[in-house]
Amino acid sequence: MDVLFGEEITMEGKKLWLIIWMVLFAMCSVGCSANSIVKSLIDSELSGPINGEIKKQYQLDGMQVKLDISLDDEMLVDYTTHTITFFPSNSQISVVTVSDAGFQRDLTLFSGSAEGKLTYRYMENGVERDFSDYGRTWWEQILPSIFRETGYDYRQRIRQIVEKSGTSAALSDTNQVVSDMVCSLYLRELVNHYSLTDKEYETTLLISENIKSDSNHADFLSAFVRSDAFSEHLTFLLKTATDNIQSSYELARVLEQVIRSPKINKEEKKNVLNAAAFISSKSEKQRILRLLSAVQDDND
């Protein structure tokens, strides 16, 4: 089994990535950005039901979680109760958790009927146990983390949470997402497709400080620039960017979005000038300063 971006990939996964890189090569030959294309493909993959395999390991409340998902078709989920309502045939979810004390739980889920009903096989330290008596409470703790870690069907998940409990509940859930890419996806979805209060817009910026990846953080801040509340929160956005993004390229990418936005005035562009001082790369800094000067000249 090979590994890509820290995740194991199957033969089907290799074929998919081969196709992706062939497309990238062809498109880049006409001047397209490979980085943006890859992100677009990833976003598209995560935006809907996942068919295929996912292998992931992560930490959760003192447990090491090992996840292995194989889906032959769409899995239907009620995300407000974290209940799988339909599970496709020829599919399986395997979850293994090991506590700090060494206590191991194993759960395998598969479809036991054509109607998509689930069958559970549950074990504790190698001994099979009744799932309802021993494993259900543990599983109810694990299942939400699976969706947060993988980004599975994230748009539908956010929509269901908002419809039942409001945008504040969706933000609270997003704050529990550990994956940088998934956190960025959740935040982008909320600022670009939902009506938030001023306080909630500020909350998205605060949550984004949990994103350690400069690229994923810049993706969200660039999306925030396109939101309705951008100009009201410009100062906070610039501070978030300069305090958290170390990459000159990614910081410049955010500032470029700000400069090109028609929503900011001449005075606010001075704040961008101050933010540009945090760009360590001389070439990136000069590029942003030239762009800022050109935009100001056009507006004069």
3-state secondary structure of 129: strand
3-state secondary structure of 121: strand
What is the distance between the alpha carbons of residues 12 and 16, in angstroms, rounded to a whole number? 6
Among 46-50, 196-200, 244-248, whose mean pLDDT is lowest?
46-50
Domain range annotation of the chain: 50-152, 166-299
104-150: per-residue pLDDT in tens?
A: 999 999 986 666 678 999 999 999 999 999 999 999 999 999 999 99
Instruction: Record the tokens describing residue 115, joined without a space.
Output: 């109607």
Predicted confidence (pLDDT) at residue 2 exceeds the cutoff of 90: no
C-beta of residue 46 within 8 angstroms of C-beta of residue 52: no
Query: Model confidence at 300, in pLDDT bands (50, 70, 90)?
Result: low
pTM of the model: 0.79
